[in-house]
Structure 1
């Protein structure tokens, strides 16, 4: 029987379970809701992981004992040392051979197929992870209160701040005003306070970021500038990784990316590439080879000491 690797890519919006074989066949995929423990709690997180694993195994017609190795990359892992024990046991009794880490690893393993370089994640939150000659480093991922620059949550906050400036005369009004009013169904602009203070979930709040792209596409120069700033903030994360890994100035290094913010396409990728040229000469921005869902499974294979062959990776890409 082929070796089987189960990857769990957690996130602020969704959690994906992907089972692959050592010869590059995708055997199952299951999707669930957020796995951000701060939002749903550890009990719900444990149940979500258990149910998701069982659903993926049922799809493939295999049992937990058939899985060679599993890896779960979860948001906020490592950000409270007192909780590491609780994270480490989330899959106990569910899978006999498993490991838990931060979801940034899924993005790196997928976008760069496990090769040296830097991965930028800009989804609900933002973070970067890189590996170079056996060393690894993390940058960012400090959370929405005082970090997560360049993320969807950060962009959403900046969108609302710009709307407030536009509507009370501190900034020239642009297409963003109408988009925000329509999105929230505002009868009066100040009703936005009630809409936000009502306590939208973190993942729901982050969806407001899409209005920056819509407004920029409609010709709103100030909204466009928010996306330029996002690109620069994400380039700063890459530069931080390069410093932590002690890369030589001008060292050629691949930088790739994942996350919903990049759905804005060139509106973010263009500024990111320009900012990388300033902050990290030698960096080459690469289109992701795989997404973080497959990245989680690829990392599981690596943990098992059985990284997928070039032929298997090519089959996954077909």
Structure 2
């Protein structure tokens, strides 16, 4: 019986491929660009997946036939019923045994090592997913136009709105003002309109979220408040997931996280912890066991009916 498991963690910014074995050894890793089909299209997505799988297998010196299972967690999966069959067929002619799902599952499987609880994802977009006593549920993930609160894209959008208010006198200027000017190479402040309206991709705009953390660390009170708001929005996602899972009120439930927004550290984790105490009493915020890329591989092992042992998990890194 094959004991190799391939995980693919898709995202709005990058796509990670990780191959592991049943003993907890990482046999190969590979990273590619965004797998957000609304940005690159289905044909490019299939090409990206095929190339990533082939590169990962070549690194490890194994064949597709050696894989017990492959799991690909991709952004936007499940958000258009008419496209489910296309999503589900993405890997059928690439690997022999595969499952395609939403990338939120990768975060949950990695951050909580497959245990009951809720995982928050705040990368380019935002979403929450949890499992509880055999049930699974999601919350959020509605996209950048009217959702994705607390995500990097949301933070970037709010930061640019704050910049506009600072630039034209509606808000007190802070360090964010100069940071945005430098980041976008603005000759004059209104040039930001052309920079954004000229076709900036979702993933490109999300990169500006880092300016919020930099500004907050430089003493920008208004930028810090954006991170407080992000923490509150993410806590609401956790509370909504708990409600959808029918977690009893006040029950102890582990909440973990993944995604670039959390690179802000205590600037966002502190507000998140405080907001969880208000919105989801009993929540215990836990550092992630593993990243979502390893979570994808762990979930592939689970789908193969060969979940990794506690000893194998302790060796995984």
Q: TM-score, normalised by structure 2?
A: 0.99
Match of 1:192 in 2: 192
1:80-99 aligned within 5 A = 80-99=80-99
Query: Helix, strand or coil for the counterpart of 1:35?
Result: coil
Match of 1:152 in 2: 152
1:231-242 aligned within 5 A = 231-242=231-242
Give me the whole-angstrom Cα distance separating, in 1, the residues matched to 2:92 and 2:69.
13
- Measured after TM superposition, the shift of residue 265 of structure 1 is 0.3
Match of 2:79 in 1: 79
Aligned partners of 1:250 and 1:282 also within 8 Å:
yes
* Deviation by residue 1:185-244 (Cα, 9 ceiling, x = unmatched): 111111110111111111110000001001000000000000000000000000001111
- Measured after TM superposition, the shift of residue 172 of structure 1 is 0.8
CA RMSD of superposed structures (Å):
0.7
Give me the whole-angstrom Cα distance separating, in 1, the residues matched to 2:209 and 2:198.
18
Query: Helix, strand or coil for the counterpart of 1:247?
Result: coil
Give me the whole-angstrom Cα distance separating, in 2, the residues matched to 1:42 and 1:182.
35
* Deviation by residue 1:5-64 (Cα, 9 ceiling, x = unmatched): 000000000001100000100000011100000000000000100010000000000000
Aligned partners of 2:137 and 2:244 also within 8 Å:
yes
Aligned partners of 2:17 and 2:52 also within 8 Å:
yes
Aligned partners of 2:231 and 2:268 also within 8 Å:
yes
Identify the range of structure 1 (193-202 vs 151-160) with the bigger mean alpha-carbon deviation.
Answer: 193-202
- Establish whether residue 250 from structure 1 lines up as the match of residue 247 from structure 2: no
Give me the whole-angstrom Cα distance separating, in 1, the residues matched to 2:35 and 2:175.
35
Aligned partners of 2:262 and 2:269 also within 8 Å:
yes
Match of 1:125 in 2: 125
Give me the whole-angstrom Cα distance separating, in 2, the residues matched to 1:244 and 1:101.
19
1:8-87 aligned within 5 A = 8-87=8-87
Query: Helix, strand or coil for the counterpart of 1:251?
Result: coil
Match of 2:109 in 1: 109
Identify the range of structure 1 (73-82 vs 169-178) with the bigger mean alpha-carbon deviation.
Answer: 169-178
Query: Helix, strand or coil for the counterpart of 2:32?
Result: strand
Give me the whole-angstrom Cα distance separating, in 2, the residues matched to 1:10 and 1:264.
22
Give me the whole-angstrom Cα distance separating, in 2, the residues matched to 1:241 and 1:219.
34
Query: Helix, strand or coil for the counterpart of 1:68?
Result: strand
- Establish whether residue 314 from structure 1 lines up as the match of residue 314 from structure 2: yes
Match of 1:283 in 2: 283
Give me the whole-angstrom Cα distance separating, in 1, the residues matched to 2:245 and 2:32.
35
* Deviation by residue 1:274-312 (Cα, 9 ceiling, x = unmatched): 000111110000000000000000000111111000000
Query: Helix, strand or coil for the counterpart of 1:72?
Result: strand
For structure 2, the 5+ residue unaligned runs are none
For structure 1, the 5+ residue unaligned runs are none
Match of 1:263 in 2: 263
Match of 1:211 in 2: 211
Report the count of equivalent residues: 317
Give me the whole-angstrom Cα distance separating, in 2, the residues matched to 1:197 and 1:67.
45
Aligned partners of 1:2 and 1:23 also within 8 Å:
no
Query: Helix, strand or coil for the counterpart of 2:254?
Result: strand
Aligned partners of 1:136 and 1:245 also within 8 Å:
yes
Match of 2:170 in 1: 170
Query: Helix, strand or coil for the counterpart of 1:78?
Result: coil
Where has structure 1 moved over 3 Å in runs of 4 or more? none
